[in-house]
A and B are shown apart, each in its own frame.
Chain A
Amino acid sequence: MTTLFDPSAAATQATDAILHDTLHGTARGVVVDSPPGAGKSTLVVRAALELAEAGHPLMVVAQTNAQVDDLVLRLAEKNPELPVGRLHSSDADPYDKALDGLENVRKSAKAADLAGLAVVISTAAKWAHVKADEPWRHAIVDEAYQMRSDALLAVAGLFERALFVGDPGQLDPFAIVGSEQWAGLTYDPSASAVTTLLAHNPDLPQHRLPVSWRLPASAAPLVSDAFYPYTPFRSGTGHGDRRLSLAVPSDGSGPDRVIDEAAESGWGLLELPARHTPRTDPEAVRAVATVVRRLLDRGGAATSERSPDPTPLTADRIAVGTAHRDQAAAVRAALADLGVTDVVVDTANRLQGREYDVTVVLHPLSGRPDATAFHLETGRLCVLASRHRHACIVVCRAGVGDLLDDYPSTEPVQLGTVVKFPDGWEANHAVLAHLAEHRVTWRP
């Protein structure tokens, strides 16, 4: 007998357990691992509202100003009455202008001005400058896996207990100078905040959200197997729930064929002939731009559980992901040449936490003669392969499989460090093997 998996019930059960530990538990911290699109922000907002309703003054720590503004907007949307403080920097334009329209949101560059508000939200960098006589009873730390241990050190004195939420599969935080000196120490300042937290407090309750609402049924198994092998998750929707249809039929070219493949199966690999190229490989960049142009020209429409009627696939529902900023700049220029200006093109780092219907990815290893730790990093590929609700099209030169075999990981082994599984080499192979089933070869 098989039991039917009910995604909503599983998600609710997980959320209830998390909120119970946060509101009524005795541990000083609660850690929540959330796979891509599993409702992390929804959880943060809900936990914030419940803590505030219970009368606990709450501080929220996020990593970027965009994340902070987004949280403030979501909180205000759920409960417009709630007094919220937005602590911001003293730079010009420190916060989203949309916050000015919210009645119960007070904004200030000084923490003292926001004292007594139910919820105060800011970035970790700004919180680090705050001096408080009395610590907050509760804190929520968002994107805790992207926060560095030293950033947590600077703010941890401000709160008594905290809920740490984040996605362990995304990009790890990094330092711009070497930090091997501290590798293996439990408080390595360049490690992630959660690594340090758990090393010192191994008994903290750890939860995970079991359902990805973003990833379609075609993508969740691959992303789960390749990047979260020991903490699998499911998609919230089934195979028939989402459909991508195209009004204009294929013209038979490579880009059109890969679009058809991706619309059908959720994945597409546009493989260019093998070649070693500079980072901003002009052919690959043009191929990426052409795929985007054709996606727009062919009148795509997405049907999903959100609405019964197809929604047109417009430029704001498409994103292009790259590994490097110069590649993103080159793709932007190529898109501008084709008359496309409003499609988001960014690096994996900046696409973290964002969601689109279709993504077009320039493979980090495409055309490279070597596979460095940067290009192999598991989180980079995971971010690029998990931003889409419908389909993901990867543009890549042939030969990446051989490249991976020629360059097994050779990072020095550091004593006392937690070895991260899977390593980038293995994850890359898993993704490549899956993409190979959706390959369209094309010679531009």
Chain B
Amino acid sequence: MSLISTLARLEAVSTGRAQPAATVRHRHLSDRPLVFVPLTTAGEAGAPLGALVGTDRDAPRLLVVPQPRDRDLRFAFLADLADVVLPYVDAYAEAVEAAERTETDPETGKRVKVEVDLCADAPQLIVPSRGGIDLVRLLGRSMRFRRTAEQDPETPYPAPPRVPLLGRWLTHFGERARVPGSSLLLAMTDVLGRHWATGQSTLEDQHLGALLAWIDPPEGLTGAEAALRAELERDAKGQLTCPPAGPATDPAFDNKLLAPAIERYDRARTALAAAEDGLEADDRLGALTAAEREIRDLVLSRTLPTWEKVWQGLDLLRELPEGAHVEERWTRDRWSFTGHRDRVLAGEPPQPRRDDAVTAANKLATREREQARLEAQEALDDPLVMAGRRLSGEAFAGEVTDVVMAYSEGKRPSPRPLVTVRTDDRPHLGERTKVYRSLGGKPQSAEFAGAEEDGAYVVLRILDKMGRGKEPEPGSVPEKGDRVCFTLFEHEQRGGAKLPDPEETPWTHGGPPGEAALEAADPVTAEDTL
């Protein structure tokens, strides 16, 4: 944890309120996000119990699996989920704008510009907490290899149409969420935690109710009191008044309310199956419907508070103005969305279970580049983030006190002005350390040329962005009295080297992966069927 976030947390403790950790919003928020509040069943990894999902705050769609171990009911749930998610996704796939992309021409091997479609906007999924992102990934993994009866008439347990497609999209959202700074799939606790520092640990920040209690405590309570209440307060029946944001549920809820309700549902179902005539069946169907409604009400009672909190979080975040580089990062999300749309349209197979060596290396390289880019952009967009970097010696700000014109040696001397900056910061500058400042959105580099008066004055030699002439272009060199801020980190990231194609994987990495075989879904085991 950086020094400034430690200070902010201490301040949150002493004031009883979360402190801002950012002055602008560093993540893109869609005008029409799809909020997804899922719950799972204890005891089985990724078995959905229910979910609230939708784009309209006042009209969420409630989806429930009354008997979570029943595969047919689970498929029905997933099919319902696909009916909500896929139309939402498709709505963004249609509107496109023209864009350019550089591609390698397969015939000449040259890099050429090609005109391609870029989706004008992209969908955005919001889940309450990091566990929700894991569940999205898990659901995607469990669905994308399934076959529908149409795809494979022989398949023993055919999936409803569109369920495999939902799996592919959820997998894409889950993978994209691993890219630093991406916004296709966001966890509300992560985004809020990025913008506010609370007086509790980052682990405790994973509890959406407690996190919001610090950021926006109710009247008359401090953040600590409200957070404690959110975590622990139980009603007369021993139930948490602020249910956890899921996807796991509270054991007291499972044992006292859910398990008996599911048992009643099971009994009603068995009774219905044993009904001997139509009249009896009608009665028993009524009992089954009642039992199902009871479970639906229970699931609604645990998801609705979280649903409200996610929207409250969105309200809080929308009050912050968007950071200057957010749009640029969102454009990359749109590229990612467009790319997957095209792969689906082209009839490509679902994403493989495991990345091959080249794909894995490419993904890691992209994410490292995005991480470095995100850190630089957040600092450039936000003086409070920059303050943290200044405090840790990675940047410094100050006033220009002197500018001396100097030139490089060589046949064509270029301007290399020496700029003295008075600063109270203590940057970790060494001999010829490169520093950068933003000049009209582009980084201008300089090198450290000496310090005076114990580091209070820093002398820099400006190196570039001064034009081609002997005299620097106007405005390209700081003037006496200017406030400047230089960073020791680079503002832009270089692209890495191109890796070999997967079919040219070298011997050190096991050679080419071979023909991509169509992967089958996990085999059905005895535990899978009731």
Contact = CB atoms under 8 A, between A and B. Distances in A.
Given A175-B368, A188-B360, A149 B509 contact: yes
B75 to A, nearest CB: 27
Interface in B353-392: 354-358, 360-361, 363-365, 367-368, 371-372, 392
B354 A157 contact: no
Contact of A182 (B355, B371, B500): B355
Contact of B507 (A176, A181, A186, A200): A200
A175 B392 CA distance: 21
B178 interface: yes
Interface stretch (A12-20, A189-197, A209-217): A189-197
Contact of A156 (B368, B497, B509): B509
A315 interface: no
A190 B507 CA distance: 18
A189 B357 contact: yes
Interface in A178-234: 178-179, 181-182, 185-190, 193, 196-197, 200-201
Given A150-B365, A201-B507, A182 B497 contact: no
Contact of B180 (A177, A196, A325): A177
Contact of B364 (A156, A175, A186, A326): A175
B496 interface: yes
Interface in B479-530: 496-497, 499-500, 504-511
Contacts of B371: 176-177
A185 B180 CA distance: 22
A132 interface: no
B224 to A, nearest CB: 21
A153 B363 CA distance: 13
B323 interface: no
B357 A187 contact: yes
B508 A152 contact: yes
A326 B497 contact: no
Interface residues of B, number: 31
B33 interface: no
A28 interface: yes
B305 interface: no
A128 B178 contact: no
A179 B368 CA distance: 10
B354 A185 contact: yes
B368 A196 contact: no
A129 interface: yes
Contacts of B180: 177
A326 B178 contact: no
Contacts of B368: 175-177
A156 B506 contact: yes
B393 interface: yes
Given A125-B497, A153-B500, A177 B367 contact: yes
B442 interface: no
Given A157-B500, A189-B360, A178 B508 contact: no
Interface in B332-362: 354-358, 360-361
Nearest to B375: A176
Contact of A326 (B392, B500, B505): B392
B428 interface: yes
A29 B507 CA distance: 10
Contacts of B360: 150, 181-182, 185, 187-189
A175 B358 CA distance: 16
Contact of B361 (A149, A157, A176, A197): A149
B508 A29 contact: yes
Question: Which of B355, B363, B367, B507 neighbours the largest number of chain A CB atoms within 10 Å of its CB?
Answer: B507
B508 A153 contact: yes
B506 A157 contact: yes
Interface string B231-251: 000000000000000000000
Nearest to B509: A187
Question: Which of B360, B367, B371, B510 neighbours the largest number of chain A CB atoms within 10 Å of its CB?
Answer: B360
A329 interface: yes
A207 to B, nearest CB: 18
Nearest to A158: B506
A181 B393 CA distance: 33
Given A177-B364, A186-B510, 15 more contacts: A149-B509, A153-B500, A153-B508, A154-B361, A154-B497, A157-B500, A157-B506, A176-B368, A177-B368, A182-B360, A182-B364, A187-B509, A189-B365, A193-B508, A200-B511
User: Which are the 4 A-B pairs with shortest beta-carbon distances?
Assistant: A128-B497, A156-B506, A150-B361, A187-B357
28 contacts: A29-B508, A128-B497, A129-B497, A149-B509, A152-B509, A153-B357, A153-B358, A153-B361, A153-B499, A154-B497, A157-B500, A177-B367, A181-B360, A182-B355, A182-B360, A182-B364, A185-B355, A187-B356, A187-B360, A187-B510, A188-B360, A189-B360, A189-B363, A189-B364, A189-B365, A193-B508, A201-B507, A326-B392
Interface of A: 28-29, 125, 128-129, 149-150, 152-154, 156-157, 175-179, 181-182, 185-190, 193, 196-197, 200-201, 325-326, 329
